[in-house]
Amino acid sequence: MTSQQLPEHDLTGRTCLVIGGAQGIGAAIAIALARAGGSLVIAGRHHDRLAATASAIEASGGKVTRAVVDVADVDSIGALAAGLGEQGLSPSILVNCAGLGGMGSAFEVTPEQWDGIHDVHLRGTFFACQAFGRRMADDGYGKIINLSSTWATTVGVGRSVYCAAKAGVSHLTAALATEWAPHGIRVNALAPTATLTPTIEQRLKEHPEREAYLRDRIPLGRLALPEDIAGGAVFLASPASDFVTGHTLDIDGGWRFSK
């Protein structure tokens, strides 16, 4: 695929791994990285969804490899890293985009619900960073992009567990950036607002009143599209951001400034 980006956003020659690249924000990021010239590996739990994203990348002339992973299972992450290594694939760009939604009264949250959300968002993110960061350290260069959220710094009713997990992702991002900077690894995060992914679209169909609530908190007056988030990922993956690390980039239409 020929890069259509500015030269400093050119990812030609870079292998990019997007975990959670099957649909929604992850798929949009994978497609955007491919358009910037990157060779993609997309990983997730669902074969059919991965195939659809891979087809979109290949239709535009991009290179893509698919792999199955469950980030809630640390052994699965290790198997992904080992499998890619056996194929001679060494990602210099890692995007941790696997997600799991969750709302509910803090009085009613069970340990299983807490663990389910934190295992995917926080534990899985850490161990994916660890698994692929080691090789980046050996190479002396790497870019890691974690998916945080506006809920990392704002709050809402029924969001206690999710807010805690995403705040953890942003703080983990800063901690790893500090520890791994001597190895040439830049670690940053994206913090989207409510985004019209297939999961959110289905939820809004079930609770249409919630869309107005979310939209009213966003000064730009609409929910985000997955493509709105992808531009930030290209920037953080590219040489244009080589002096940026430990940062969480809000892509929220002004959400954090609203009342």
Q: Residue 186 CA to chain centroid, in angstroms?
A: 15
- In angstroms, rounded to a whole number, what is the distance separating the alpha carbons of residues 225 and 14? 26
Q: Which of 162, 180, 235, 255 is catalytic?
A: 162
Q: DSSP alpha helices (H): ranges in 60-110?
A: 74-86
Annotated catalytic residue 162: yes
Nearest to 151 by CA among 194, 113, 122: 194
254: left (phi over 0), alpha (psi -120 to 50) or beta: left
Burial 114-146 (b: 16+ CB within 10 A, else e): eeebbbbbbbbbbbbbebbbebbeeeeebbbbb
Active site residues: 162
